[in-house]
Amino acid sequence: MTFEELKPKVQDILSNSSILRDEKLLKICHLLKDNISYYDWVGFYFRNGEKEELILGPYAGAPTDHTIIPFGKGICGQVAVSNKNFVVPDVQAQDNYIACSFTVKSEIVIPLFVNGENIGQIDIDSNVLDPFTKEDELFLEFVNSEISKLFL
């Protein structure tokens, strides 16, 4: 399924008033993981209140031990500080990478902003080396833009 075909499906999930926010986020995770062949783990991390750490939210994929990530640590922790997209074509080449699984080859993390504040991020791991393109970034920015409306 193409990114353009997925966009209305994302909007349909998010506009469903009969399910709670975390269930919507979980459905988004499964939608992306099930329809984009190289998205092997899809999840959300959110700022843990005023603490400088991220806490794991809904996700689809193998269980992870990384339920809390300090700001600055790993790719997710770096995005929490930089407020910028981070595409890692080869996780082996990253000094500050937290390995979730030996099968993960690449990662993309896109911050989630609400009223200009970085409240979390979508994190995607791939078992494929260097699969992420500018189109992935643009699509995930769209997803996060739509999700941000749930927090207003």
Q: What is the pLDDT of residue 26?
A: 98
- Could you give the angle at the alpha carbon of 38 between the alpha carbons of 33 and 41, nearest 5°? 45
Per residue in 41-73, pLDDT tens?
999 999 999 999 999 999 999 999 999 999 999
Q: Are strands 41-47 and 53-60 parallel, antiparallel or unpaired?
A: antiparallel
Q: How confident is residue 97, by pLDDT bands cut at 50, 70 and 90?
A: confident
Per residue in 65-92, pLDDT tens?
999 999 999 999 999 999 999 999 999 8
**pLDDT averaged over every residue in the chain:** 95
What average pLDDT does the segment 116-131 reach?
Answer: 97
What average pLDDT does the segment 133-140 reach?
Answer: 98
30, 94 Cβ separation under 8 angstroms: no
Residues 6+ apart with CB under 8 A from 99: 91
Q: What is the pLDDT of residue 99?
A: 66
Domains of the chain: 3-151 (3.30.450.40)
